[in-house]
A and B are shown apart, each in its own frame.
Chain A
Amino acid sequence: EVQLVESGGGLVQPGGSLRLSCAASGFTFSTYWMHWVRQAPGRGLVWLSHLNTDGSIATYADSVQGRFTISRDNAKNTLYLQMDSLRAEDTAVYYCARAFRQQLIHWGQGTLVTVSS
């Protein structure tokens, strides 16, 4: 069974940093592109970033370019999202997802990030 489990969310002050993790199991992690998507409370889904299989090609949404960094450790079957210079508007549930032809076929349960003083 495919499982994606996000962790690392929590309360952080504006300007702070947080690193999210996404532990994958049930599939060959190293052969799939992976994505991060977020959803602010009561709002819609927003795509953030994706990373190719060996971690050499990363693409970001304009809203997080230069502040967020996606990475992966294929030996640990884990995807990461390093979030720096956090703002109140980054408050959201963050999901990782496995891609199939750039469509998000499996999603984790999400982890909540709250940016507030």
Chain B
Amino acid sequence: DTGVSQNPRHKITKRGQNVTFRCDPISEHNRLYWYRQTLGQGPEFLTYFQNEAQLEKSRLLSDRFSAERPKGSFSTLEIQRTEQGDSAMYLCASSLGSGSSYNEQFFGPGTRLTVL
């Protein structure tokens, strides 16, 4: 399988705990994105990396959220001191960066987070 993979697929945690999600992009893709999707809504952009550099962060990404892509391959998204409002599907996507204006993004299956 050469698509985007995410682990875990499901995570249930108690309020106040920290959680970390992992995303492995398509191997030749140098751009990696994180989105969050709540029930009944479309995905909302959180942040993106080109190689190991984090180039844009949404205002949705509070101080409790941190994302890394240390070697320009896989990425992790950590949420500290989780709140019930963090419950959502966290989606990772990757794209092949190029000079074109429409780098198509391919999504992973997502990590469903439930904060009790």
Query: Is B a genuine binding partner of A?
Result: no
Interface residues in chain A, defined as those with a beta carbon under 8 Å from any beta carbon in chain B:
none
